[in-house]
Structure 1
Amino acid sequence: MTWPQAIKQFDGYLRLEKSLSPNSVEAYVRDVRKLHQWLEFENLKANPLQVTTRLLRDFLATLTDLGLSSTSQARTLSGLKAFYEFLIMEDILKIDPTDTLESPKPGRHLPDTLSYPDIERLLGAIDLSTSEGLRSRALLEVLYSSGLRVSELCDLKLSNLYFEQGFMRVLGKGNKERLVPIGREAVKHLHFYLGGVRQHLNVQPGYEDIVFLSHRGRQLSRITVFTTIKKLAELAGLRQTISPHTLRHSFATHLLEGGADLRAVQEMLGHVSITTTEIYTHLDRDYLRQVITEFHPRS
């Protein structure tokens, strides 16, 4: 049995026999599709009847790594349990691989994330009348709209910004390059920063191509980014500890909880090795841009 066949039958079962609402059916089916997408992304050739409990544990661990809340993980597991319960009931499968899986407890440690209202509070705490404020707004918009690591943000180059195409080229871990969509708000505030602040700086030799610079014209340090976000969090009245990585996890969480394709989010986060000549062999750039446009709160 193939995944499309199983999902189609499951969809029909939920609509006709369980009489669930269209929204509930869509949520359950989306949970199963996420598992299928993850298997394809990891190049694990397992059809619905070949999925093991261990594979399911690895899938749930991936959701944790991406910053998905325990509540959302429990909801996803509920959808998978319903799917395998259906396969058992239809005598398509004999052993339920979800049987021994427990829902994540709310108290377990997960990567910190911010709600979208908290993101807005953080951005709203920035004083845009200052050059530092314009820079802070641009870098926060880039972090949140593209899910960059702080080192990737600091190393970002002007020559790797493709505003017309809506993408930027990012150098990630292990010197692996990837293309990441830039959100509309990030593009707007990058233009404000580049035109209103950066072009007036006395850029030091060797930093001509670096996007984010200190007031002395040198590459912005990771410590400065951490300090900037910490100060803004205090001004916004946010009590939790917030770092650049919080924005990266929030980017992934908000996309996934909005229904974005798991593979697309993993590609954009750079969770796989992608060389310069192999960029987006799984997903084309138009599709990644569509994911940002449809599912990111800042779009």
Structure 2
Amino acid sequence: MAYDDWLAEGFEEHRRHLFGVAYRMLGSTAEAEDAVQEAWLRLSRAESADAGAIDNLGGWLTTVVSRISLNVLRARSTHREDSLEERLERLPEPVVSLDGSSGDPADQALLADSVSVALLVVLDQLSPAERLAFVLHDLFAVPFGEIAPIVGKTDDATRQLASRARRRVQGGVPAPDADLARQRSVVDAFFAAAHDGDLERLISVLDPAVVLRSDLGAGVTHYRGAEKVAGNAVLYAHPDRIVRPAVVNGAAGVVITRDGMLFSVMAFTVAAGRIVEIEAYAAPDLTARLGAELGLG
């Protein structure tokens, strides 16, 4: 096998893992793909002697993708701090399948590598170093000794970063019901009640402290409490909007179309039989891209 072919084959074996790391770090499929592609470019540009000296290709690539992702996160933070206007809050980009049973291996891999939107929302609140330490150690079992050089900290300091992040995650991410069919039945009940304008039924499927985050592209609006969220659901339940079941980041969700075009995507977190979090995506740039990918305009 030619050297270039051997290198490309080795990279492809790790591509899915690398995308999973980058997506958890960045919360954006496009940026994650860019980070993975940049890692390939760095590998392919390496001299054959240098590449041949890599004992653990997967570990080397994970380090490269992590450094790239960390730089992106730090650039985001710097932009927010330097800007005269605070950077608009946006929800992490969702990974969507219309039925969760796509036959495309690439789509199946993407869904397998997705994590809940609720987790990504909390990860967005961490510092770049905390996020990297938590993602690599807690989600991918990378030893602290390998993470420390990436963040420029000692092993103990890196361990503390992950510990702080872990407390934030444990306190901010509800444990969802594992049964996707059970999730689906609760989400279906939510839309049936909204369609009927039945506030009492709507409130019955919502946790009293439910949170709805709506991203229209100009910032995220937060609605809190069952009555507020139920009223919002009735307000937007127009008969010209068609609700179709979907899997969003591995959980029950929906895509909503209007005149055959994708209007919005909604992700749900269902815990103990009730909806505890909802993320609604209706930003034109995102719905246009996802609509094209899903064949909905």
TM superposition score category, shorter chain reference = 0.3 to 0.5
Q: Which has the higher contact order (CA 8 A, sep 6+)?
A: 1
TM-score (norm 2): 0.33
TM-score (norm 1): 0.33
